[in-house]
Amino acid sequence: MANEICLDILGTSFTITADEDETYLQKVLTQYRAAVENTQSISGINDSLNIAVLTGFLLCDEINKIKEKLEGESAELAAEVEKRTMNLIAKLDQVLNTNP
């Protein structure tokens, strides 16, 4: 079900329609507003377009760092699973070869 949310940020207002839950959309909007406020405070930039662009860039940076961390953790987990699987196979081979 499509939901509408009115965005009023950096002096710009518009409405978007999304297939997400209204509560989720409000949560995203709150996070974006916080990110914009953070960008304004750390950069000292006053131009709304520049703030929006820089905020988008910083959020993409954060997303990529999280992805890289998760991919690293996923690779470590896969390696551990493979190691344990190979150990189990070795034990099964040993048991099957000693019991004719």
pLDDT for the residue 95? 83
How many structural domains compose the chain?
A: 1
pLDDT for the residue 31? 94
Dihedral sign of CA atoms 17, 18, 19, 24 in order: negative
For the chain, give the number of residues. 100
pLDDT in tens, 38-52: 999 999 999 999 999
pTM of the model: 0.70
Q: How many C-beta atoms lie closer than 10 Å to residue 51's C-beta?
A: 19
pLDDT in tens, 12-30: 998 989 999 989 999 999 9
Tokens of 6: 């009115």
Pairing outcome for strands 12-18 and 3-9:
antiparallel
Question: Could you tell me which of 69, 65, 45 has the C-alpha nearest to residue 55?
Answer: 45
5: enclosing H helix or E strand: strand 3-9
